[in-house]
A and B are shown apart, each in its own frame.
Chain A
Amino acid sequence: MTSVSETTERTRPPFWRDLAVLRVAAQVAAVVLAALVLVYLGNNLVTNTRAQGITLGFDFLDQPLGVDIQLSPITASNTILQGLIRGWINTLALVIVGLPLLTVLGVVVGVARLSSNWLVAKLAALYVEIVRNIPPLLIILFVHNVVILGLPPKNEPASPLGWFSISNFVIAGPWFDASDGAGAFWTAVAVAAVAAVFVWRRRTKVNEATGEPHHRVAYSLGLVVLVGVIAFFVLGRPLSWSLPVFKDRLVTGGIQGLGQYFSMLLALVVYTASHVAEIVRGSIQAVAKGQSEAANALALSGFQRLRFVTLPQAARIAVPPIISQYLNYTKNTSLAIGVAYAEVTLIAFQAIGNGQPAPQLILLLMVGYLIFSLTISFVLNIVNRRMQLVSR
């Protein structure tokens, strides 16, 4: 035994061929190289900004924004920081409304591509093959310049049913008007919604244990509606309908969105849904064929087969790539520069144009998007983990 260790001792290579030494040396070299590059760039940054009389801090965030943000309380005299925050809210408005819409459209089209109806399948294929091979920015510009700007002009909005007000500047629809007690009402509904989740779980358990029908939709939805109706009348009707009204060249009331917002929403939903549809189709096809044959053998209808057998299994395969499509959608909202919708990238872009320091603004922008993307992928990965089969 000792002789072996002696041999290794003796044949230990010189340090320039010793793997242990080389590994450390290579890593030190990598760190030094990266540090040198950063120091060089940082050094240049300091020199160049000093030469141009630009400060390197973040004090500029307190300076006036210089532009109004339409349909928001932010005006030119607000600070850049307030403008950027409003920009993030506008980005969020695109994301929150867009993700559910594109999911529904994508799933419907993906399922339609596998329809037994030849015409439906071909039409879905046509949509997917056309849309996903065109640049998203081009779709945005097309929707904006052709569809949205083709609507009635700002001063002559159309108002179908009297419920909407549609022009190429603002599109508005009916919404709630809150009075005293609205906060209490929404709190009651929120509590009922949480309770409904527990009822849902309880009914599922009862169903699994005893086999009696769960009726969980009826039970939980009923709870929310019941609480809502009671709270509505007990609190003295805190909500009322608010319809958009066009008067004195202004639309008031209802819920309003800028034309640019709808250009972005429509274009990005249509574009991203075409990618989601491909994922959905691939996932359904990846479900073992025996599964749908088994469903057929059980005489399930086409819809039942999809709802109870194919889609639940396809969902597990589809979720990770769909998450990455959600992230793409989020990043693509930055294309709003093309139609001047005031989301965060446009605010930063305009501030740079107004002579504010570009390096800091772009850094803020990048870090913001990074946090945004990481949050979305963090939340959705939890969802994904809960959906995956626990094996082994």
Chain B
Amino acid sequence: MTETWTAPKATAAEWARRNLFNRWYNSALTVVLGVFLAWLAYKLVVVLFGIDYEIIRRNLLLFMVGEFPRDQIERPFISTILFGLAFGLGAATAAASARHAAAEADLAYAAPTPRMLVRRFWPLLALVAALLAFTRTVMPTVMALSTILGGAALYFGARGMPRSMVRWGWMGTLVLGIAAFAVIIVGVDGGWNAWGGFQINIFLAIAGIVIAFPFGLLLALGRRSSLPVVRYLSVTYIEFIRGVPLITLLLMGVFALGFFLPEALRPGPAIRVLIAIVMFEAAYVAEVVRGGLQAVPKGQLEAGQALGLPAWKTTRLIILPQALRATIPAMVGQFISLYKDTTLVNLVGMFDVLEVALVVNSQSDFIGKRLFFLTLAFAGVLFWVGSYTMSREAQRLEKKLGIGER
């Protein structure tokens, strides 16, 4: 008599009764909110399909790259493609390394299928499609397709790489990444200072966190050092920076940094802003890394000592690999927050995407038309897509790494 009872499949009416009308006050809420939502959706549809996107269409290039020299405009395109390739190769290498690690530990490893990837990155793909709808020439479409297809081809082609190739995979990613930067710096009139638009937000965020990482690592190790002087110096720096707003550091970088350097060493505006961001970010990266260091059980350190390893080898070979793996999700979170914070550079005179969204409203064809809602919403969508995708990926990683599980 082992009959298993299975719940009958709920009908739509039953589902609605259970989830929308289970109490009188919930019914009331549902009705009120339902009416409100319907009205909102109606308004949104009317606005989305009723307005003229000319201001975006005409200024799309300005939004993306600011006043980058137009006779060298192919450079940002090439940079984007290289960036896509770097991303594809990096993801492939990470996947290969995870697969080898899983095989070593006799664990199952499921590689994501193209369908899963589309489901994970749909906001990004939808954004690209929407952007391409605004373009007037064929070049952006060619660029977007080569970026996505090139990156995907590299990912699916290279993720089966043997163990010996993993090291070269990382090396190639690094080279491609550096090349992506070099293309829009070296040989460009004005170098870094020619940057503008969304490009400056993305590249300041990436360069900021990459350059800040080693400093943050040192600060975190310094904060946990057994040498009191080193510890106090690190703690003072970290707590000082974390106590002040980023904008004060940016003001310092732009208006006061020049006073602290001899004339020959004074950098241009973009580098000044980057220095301020790196100083700021190093303190936050240090706190993230410290979290990871604290997550490594003490027995690991003692095991290193028992093996007779010197302190720096114990740190490098035993503590850091475990600590840094645990910090990946928090590091993504920190990157998202920096990505959003890069908008602050327009307050100190950089021509970033937010500044573009404001100034296009003063163009003679659009002045007085109050299109701020459209241009700012467009800039908002650009940020939202990257930020949302990354935060979802961070959550996925967190689950996969089993961090925060009790």
Contact = CB atoms under 8 A, between A and B. Distances in A.
Given A119-B37, A358-B255, A369 B347 contact: no
A119 B20 contact: yes
Interface in B204-237: 226-230, 233
Contacts of A136: 340
A337 B247 contact: yes
B5 interface: no
Give the residue among B30, B230, B342 with the most A Cβ atoms within 10 A.
B230
Given A27-B228, A335-B347, A373 B243 contact: yes
Interface residues of B, number: 56
Contacts of A352: 251, 255
A79 interface: no
Contacts of B343: 135, 137-138
Give the residue among A118, A135, A345, A365 with the most B Cβ atoms within 10 A.
A135
A142 interface: yes
B387 interface: yes
Interface string B329-344: 0000000100011111
Interface in B312-360: 336, 340-344, 346-347, 354, 357-358
Interface stretch (B44-52, B84-92, B180-188, B374-382): B374-382
B262 A30 contact: no
B388 A137 contact: no
Interface in B359-402: 370, 372-373, 376-377, 379-380, 383-384, 387-388, 391
Give the residue among A44, A133, A150 with the most B Cβ atoms within 10 A.
A133
Interface string A111-148: 00000111110010000011001111111011001100
Contacts of B342: 135
A60 B373 CA distance: 41
Contacts of B252: 358, 362, 366
B22 interface: yes
A141 B358 contact: yes
Nearest to B33: A119
Contacts of B37: 119, 123
Contact of B376 (A47, A141, A335, A373): A141
A349 B372 CA distance: 25
Contacts of B377: 142
B29 A48 contact: no
Given A118-B19, A359-B259, A30 B248 contact: no
Given A335-B347, A345-B245, A366-B248, A120 B229 contact: no
B244 interface: yes
Nearest to A338: B347
B20 A117 contact: yes
A116 to B, nearest CB: 6
Interface string A365-386: 1100110011000000000000
A142 B376 contact: yes
A205 to B, nearest CB: 35
- Determine the interface band of chain A, counting residues with CB < 8 A from chain B: 35 or more
Contacts of A23: 226-227
Contacts of A141: 354, 357-358, 372, 376
B258 interface: yes
A45 interface: yes
Contacts of A134: 340, 380, 383-384, 387
A29 to B, nearest CB: 9
Nearest to B21: A117
Nearest to A134: B380
A334 B341 contact: no
A365 B29 contact: no
A149 B342 CA distance: 25
A117 B240 CA distance: 45
B26 interface: yes
B247 A362 contact: no
Interface string A329-354: 00110110110000001001100100
B256 interface: yes
A116 B229 contact: no
Contacts of A146: 372-373, 376
Contact of A30 (B22, B227, B384, B388): B227
Contact of A133 (B256, B341, B384): B384
A170 to B, nearest CB: 21
A366 B240 CA distance: 9
Nearest to B262: A44
19 contacts: A23-B227, A26-B230, A27-B229, A27-B230, A30-B229, A30-B230, A44-B262, A48-B263, A117-B20, A120-B30, A133-B387, A138-B354, A141-B357, A145-B372, A345-B247, A362-B252, A365-B251, A366-B240, A369-B243
Interface of B: 19-20, 22-23, 26, 29-30, 33-34, 37, 226-230, 233, 240, 243-248, 251-252, 255-256, 258-263, 336, 340-344, 346-347, 354, 357-358, 370, 372-373, 376-377, 379-380, 383-384, 387-388, 391
Interface pairs A-B: 9 shortest CB-CB: A358-B255, A133-B387, A145-B372, A27-B229, A118-B19, A135-B340, A331-B245, A334-B245, A135-B343
